[in-house]
Amino acid sequence: MTARAGRGSLSKSALHRGVGVALWRQIGDEIRRGIGAGLADENGRLPPEAELAARFGVNRHTVRAAIAALIHEGVLRSEQGRGTYVRRQKRLTYPIGTRTRFSAGLEGQARDRQVELLDHMKEPANAVVAAALGLGAGVDVIRLEMLGLADGVPISRSTSWFSATLFPDIAGYVARTHSITEALALSGTRDYRRASTTIEARHADDTDTRDLRLSPGAIVLVARGVNVDGNGKPIQYSQTRFSADRVELTVSPA
């Protein structure tokens, strides 16, 4: 999309009827994608409903249903007599690298960034967590449920596990400092780095729609990874869900 010649042409995209996805939703997805690819003009104004209807080959009401959904999502805003406008133009770029830290990574992209601890608990590690942290299955771990915000908008929703014996007080530190980096430092781990990350994409489930304020059918990017300390010993396993509409990930070398 980014590297296409056209100026707002939105390639007469064929809609598919009878495939279990309503036309208005397909059109909504097209409009969402079209934003930032020249569909809206320089003021963020969309073409009028009648023109969009003609372009998609549907009734104006169907376009209106799509726009209504996007307004409900907070993507668009419309004013009677004036037109329909895009609310947020740009997507945040979140770095995935050896030294990823939430706040530092978004520096310069959002005025206000913060991490909120939603919940925490001690529990026995399941097979995946145990393997990732190099612990025996069933060993106690501490799980943190966190929400990352940028300028008040939910950006990421993560679940992290730490060894309960090595980081018994991690939850309190995170609650106090609002920072994993500082909480680890208070626990005695001054430095850490990302050992591996896998990235997948899927539809938002209801946890995602609630915590990240998404609409059903929205997409989340899921990054799973392990942080290790200076000696290469695993200290944190985490799984982070990003709103695909609001962020893109960038793999930085270094």
Partner DNA sequence: ACCAATTTGTCCGTATGTATT
Partner DNA sequence: AAATACATACGGACAAATTGG
Q: Is 215 in the site for DNA (CB under 7 A)?
A: no
Q: Which is nearer to a second copy, 20 or 136 (CB)?
A: 20
Of 182, 200, 179, 178, whose CA–CA distance to 191 is shortest?
182
29 binds DNA (CB under 7 A): no
Burial state string for 117-138 with b = 16 or more CB within 10 A and e = fewer than 16 = beebeeeebeeebbebbebeee
Per-residue contact string for residues 60-99; x = within reach of DNA by CB under 7 A: -xx-xx-x----------xxxxxxx---------------
Rank residues 87 and 202 by Cβ distance to a second copy and give the closer one: 202
Where does residue 89 rank: exposed (0-12), middle (13-18), buried (19+ CB within 10 A)? Answer: exposed
For residues 129-168, which are near a second copy according to CB under 8 A?
129, 132, 159, 161
Residue type, 68: A
Residues in the chain, overall count: 254
Residue 177 binds which one of a second copy, DNA, none, with CB within 5 to 8 A depending on kind?
Answer: none
Rule CB under 8 A: say whether 240 interacts with a second copy.
no
- Least CB distance to DNA at residue 70 (A): 11
Q: Taking the complex as a whole, how short is the minimal distance between the CB of residue 177 and DNA, in angstroms?
A: 44
Q: Is residue 249 near a second copy by the rule CB under 8 A?
A: yes
Helical (H) or strand (E) element with 56: helix 49-56
C-beta neighbour count of 210 within 10 angstroms = 12
CA distance 152 to 109: 13
Biggest distance spanned by C-alpha atoms of the chain: 65
Of 32-40, 45-53, 116-124, 162-170, which part binds DNA (CB under 7 A)? Answer: 45-53
Asked if 23 is part of the footprint of DNA (rule: CB under 7 A), the reply reads: yes
- Contact between 96 and a second copy per CB under 8 A: yes
Quick one: 67 or 174, whose CB is closer to DNA? Answer: 67
Pairing of strands 92-96, 247-251: parallel
User: Given the rule CB under 8 A, which of 50-58, 92-100, 111-119, 166-174 is the region that contacts a second copy?
Assistant: 92-100
Q: What distance in Å separates the CA atoms of residue 154 and residue 218, rounded to the nearest whole number?
A: 14
Tell me the CA distances in angstroms from 208 to 160, 163, 198, 203, one per residue in order: 16, 26, 19, 9
Residues contacting DNA: total by CB under 7 A? 26
| Binding residues for a second copy (CB under 8 A) | 1-5, 11, 13-14, 16, 19-22, 24-26, 28-30, 32-33, 65, 69, 91, 93, 96-98, 126, 128-129, 132, 159, 161, 194-203, 205-206, 209, 215-217, 219-222, 224-225, 237, 239, 244, 248-253
